[in-house]
């Protein structure tokens, strides 16, 4: 049976916000900061239960629209939480995306239908929504966001905000490529508001190209003409050798993954190693503890990325997080089509030494 029990005795609102202030300012001793990280993690873990409720409800709703749709969930990574605290004045207790779900559909009509049904939800209270398809971000990001408030009788601060991202397959391919780019360049395209370098402009142009395919509004400050977009893409590709760089990032790892209830994905960019840790329903608390330890290991090491996720199937896991498997093959195929350039497509690496590991085994790479 799936363990969806809420966390008992999570920290109070004042404790949470005090921890957030400590993490934001970087002015405390190592011991004080370590305590703040523990409080932040406990607050984050308390989102597991409501996040699970939202994912199961979203999955049921999504399958009614399209059997090919999938929905996964993830806790926000500690480095991302700290980065957001540093960038914004938001309080840790009011951060709206500590727990999040992602629903991906084959086409824009199904995604829009799901988004509208979420907004009419009677089972969970909608407290916010953003339509980045009608109004794309300048960096090229396009998606629908719905924020739910889920009641929790077990806590003083008795509600949790859970964000649901709704994407099409094309939007998901674009977002995956952006995350891979950020991984290998130490960039921040994902959070940047205005593209101010070659990669920013490149992804803004590709964002518009994919918006045109879906017959939806283009990214601001990009050419309205498909020919003009193609010409600018070709120029960027020639001037900065972008295809060669994309190829150098593409590992296209396809490891066998053991079935579990929860997974931890760990990517080491410098060593070009990755691992998937799989946990059954009876070991979820161990998964949470292991995840926290791996994130502490990640602190100060930009080459490491770790995320904990839940998915209904192994196929959904790989489809939802291809950036952790360094798989941008579909993006390269789209780039070849939109730029009119003939680009060789990398093949999957099915090396059997790349495999999942249990919490008791050593890290395995390639």
> CATH no. for residue 346?
3.30.460.10
pLDDT < 50: residue spans in the chain: 1-4, 252, 348-366
On whether residue 2 sits in a domain, the answer given is no
3-state percent helix, strand, coil for the chain, nearest multiple of 5:
45, 15, 35
> Of 153, 108, 145, whose CA–CA distance to 5 is shortest?
153
Residue 268 backbone dihedrals phi, psi, to 5 degrees: -110, 105
On whether residue 302 sits in a domain, the answer given is yes
On whether residue 236 sits in a domain, the answer given is yes
131 is written with which tokens? 């339509």
Output the pLDDT for position 268.
Answer: 83
On whether residue 28 sits in a domain, the answer given is yes
DSSP class of residue 283 equals G
Q: What range defines the domain where residue 325 resides?
A: 13-357
In whole angstroms, what is the distance from residue 307 CA to residue 292 CA?
Answer: 10
On whether residue 203 sits in a domain, the answer given is yes
Reported as type and span, the H/E element at residue 348 is none
User: What are residue 100's DSSP bridge partners?
Assistant: 74, 163
Chain CA centroid to CA 35, Å:
26
Three-state secondary structure call for residue 231? helix
Output the pLDDT for position 358.
Answer: 34
Reported as type and span, the H/E element at residue 349 is none
Output the pLDDT for position 248.
Answer: 80
On whether residue 364 sits in a domain, the answer given is no
In whole angstroms, what is the distance from residue 296 CA to residue 41 CA?
Answer: 11
On whether residue 224 sits in a domain, the answer given is yes
Number of domains, the chain: 1
Q: Are 279 and 263 in contact (CB under 8 A)?
A: yes
Place of tokens 């060669």: 244
Q: What is the mean pLDDT of the chain?
A: 85
Output the pLDDT for position 276.
Answer: 86
On whether residue 281 sits in a domain, the answer given is yes
> Which strands, in side-by-side order, build the sheet including 356-357?
125-131, 144-151, 159-168, 99-105, 70-75, 304-310, 262-268, 273-279, 356-357
Output the pLDDT for position 64.
Answer: 97
The counts of H helices and E strands in the chain are 12, 9
- Helix boundaries (H) for the chain: 13-25, 30-45, 48-65, 78-87, 108-119, 169-185, 198-213, 226-240, 242-249, 284-298, 314-320, 329-339
Output the pLDDT for position 362.
Answer: 30
Rounded to 5 degrees, what angle do the CA atoms 106, 111, 114 make?
130
In whole angstroms, what is the distance from residue 331 CA to residue 323 CA?
Answer: 11
* DSSP sequence for 54-86: HHHHHHHHHHHH-TT-EEEEEEPPHHHHHHHHH
């Amino acid at each position: 049976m799936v363990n969806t029990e809420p966390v008992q005795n999570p920290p109070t609102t004042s404790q949470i916000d005090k921890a957030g202030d400590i993490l934001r300012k970087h002015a405390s001793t190592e011991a004080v900061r370590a305590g703040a990280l523990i409080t932040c993690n406990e607050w984050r873990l308390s989102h597991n239960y409501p996040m699970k409720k939202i994912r199961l409800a979203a999955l049921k709703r999504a399958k009614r629209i399209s059997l090919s749709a999938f929905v996964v969930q993830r806790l926000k990574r500690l480095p991302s939480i700290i980065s957001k605290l540093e960038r914004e004045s938001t309080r840790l207790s009011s951060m709206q995306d500590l727990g999040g779900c992602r629903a991906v559909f084959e086409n824009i009509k199904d995604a829009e239908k799901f988004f509208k049904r979420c907004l009419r939800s009677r089972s969970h209270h909608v407290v916010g929504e953003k339509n980045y398809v009608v109004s794309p971000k300048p960096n090229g990001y396009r998606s629908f966001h719905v924020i739910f408030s889920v009641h929790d009788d077990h806590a003083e601060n008795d509600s949790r905000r859970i964000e649901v991202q709704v994407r099409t397959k094309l939007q998901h391919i674009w977002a995956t490529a952006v995350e891979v780019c950020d991984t290998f360049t130490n960039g921040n395209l994902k959070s940047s508001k205005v593209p101010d370098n070659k990669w920013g402009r490149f992804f803004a142009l590709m964002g518009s190209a994919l918006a045109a395919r879906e017959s939806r509004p283009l990214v601001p400050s990009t050419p309205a003409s498909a020919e003009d977009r193609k010409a600018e893409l070709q120029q960027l590709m020639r001037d900065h050798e972008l295809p060669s760089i994309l190829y150098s990032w593409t590992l296209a790892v396809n490891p066998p993954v053991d079935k579990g209830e929860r997974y931890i994905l760990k990517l080491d960019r410098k060593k070009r190693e990755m691992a998937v840790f799989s946990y059954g329903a009876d070991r979820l608390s161990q998964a949470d503890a292991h995840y926290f330890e791996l994130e502490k290991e990640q602190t100060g090491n930009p080459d490491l990325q770790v995320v904990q996720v839940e998915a209904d199937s192994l196929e959904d896991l790989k489809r939802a997080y291809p950036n952790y498997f360094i798989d941008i093959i579909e993006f390269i195929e789209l780039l070849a089509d939109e730029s009119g350039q003939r680009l060789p497509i990398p093949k999957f690496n099915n090396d059997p030494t790349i495999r999942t590991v249990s919490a008791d085994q050593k890290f395995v790479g390639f």
